[in-house]
């Protein structure tokens, strides 16, 4: 009597299926022969790593394997057990996570503006990692003042457009800092925008505006 596919079983369990790059997971494959006869010369393959095993009637054996990956992403691992009269296949899916990483690209801004000018600072928050960066805080600092935005999770590249007016700046050179905080990491960019051709009355308006902000921060 020849072995039948239903006469043997194989079950594989991974210690964990979500891993960091370079991290290892133990996979235990349990092979059981329910046939009344032994199964000889059975090829047990873990991806391309194969070994030849034999299993007696009624016997149960556990075969350990170690899985790891140096690249991020979804990885399918195929485990097969086969002989001349027996064939079974199991596919385990692993999620390999790298360190979250963000980069600022396509930064665009005017170098010079006037008091009544409306302008835009635009940039792209580029996701460089497979893992989604989380708790992303975008900060635009201009001299002593700053504006903030928050993203719970960055799943894809995000374009940002910040609308400002010349009257939001100080006369002369304004040092701007763009900072992005995420997962305990930081990236950023620095640039300058000059507010030019400011009249006397515009300077007074800017001074009063700054004074109002200062009082608000102290007594607000």
* pLDDT tens-digit profile, the chain (220 residues): 344 445 788 999 999 999 999 999 999 999 999 888 888 889 999 988 899 999 999 999 999 999 999 999 999 999 999 887 778 999 999 999 999 999 999 999 999 999 999 999 999 999 999 999 999 999 999 876 789 999 999 999 999 999 999 999 989 999 999 999 999 999 999 999 999 998 888 887 777 777 666 555 545 5
Choosing from 68, 97, 126, the residue where a domain stops is 97
Cβ proximity of 162 and 123 under 8 Å: no
Choosing from 76, 97, 118, the residue where a domain stops is 97
Question: Phi and psi for 202 in degrees, rounded to 5?
Answer: -70, -35
Claim to verify: residue 34 and residue 109 sit in the same structural domain: no
Claim to verify: residue 43 and residue 116 sit in the same structural domain: no
Calpha distance 208→203 (Å, rounded): 9
What SS3 class is residue 151?
Answer: strand
Report if residue 70 sits inside a domain.
yes
Report if residue 148 sits inside a domain.
yes
Q: Which domain holds residue 48?
A: 5-97
Claim to verify: residue 83 and residue 9 sit in the same structural domain: yes
The separation between CA 57 and the C-alpha centre of its own chain, rounded to angstroms, equals 49
Claim to verify: residue 121 and residue 91 sit in the same structural domain: no
């Amino acid at each position: 009597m020849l072995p039948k596919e239903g006469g043997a079983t194989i079950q594989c369990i991974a210690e964990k299926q979500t891993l960091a790059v370079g991290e290892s997971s133990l996979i235990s494959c349990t092979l059981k022969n329910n046939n009344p006869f032994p199964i000889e010369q059975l090829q047990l393959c873990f991806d391309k790593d194969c070994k030849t095993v034999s299993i007696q009637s009624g016997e149960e054996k556990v075969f350990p394997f170690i899985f790891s990956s140096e690249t991020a992403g979804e990885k399918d691992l195929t485990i097969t057990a086969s002989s001349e009269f027996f064939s079974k296949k199991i596919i385990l899916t692993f999620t390999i996570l790298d360190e979250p990483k963000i980069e600022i690209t396509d930064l665009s801004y005017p170098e010079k503006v006037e008091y009544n000018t409306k302008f835009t600072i635009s940039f792209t928050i580029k996701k460089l990692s497979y893992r989604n960066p989380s708790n992303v805080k975008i900060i635009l600092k201009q001299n002593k003042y700053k504006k903030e935005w928050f993203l719970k999770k960055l799943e894809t590249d995000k374009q940002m457009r910040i609308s400002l007016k010349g009257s939001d700046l100080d006369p002369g050179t304004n040092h701007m800092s763009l900072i992005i905080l995420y997962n305990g990491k930081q990236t950023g960019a620095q640039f300058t925008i000059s507010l030019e051709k400011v009249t006397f009355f515009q300077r007074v308006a800017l001074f009063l505006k700054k004074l109002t902000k200062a009082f608000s921060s102290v007594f607000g």
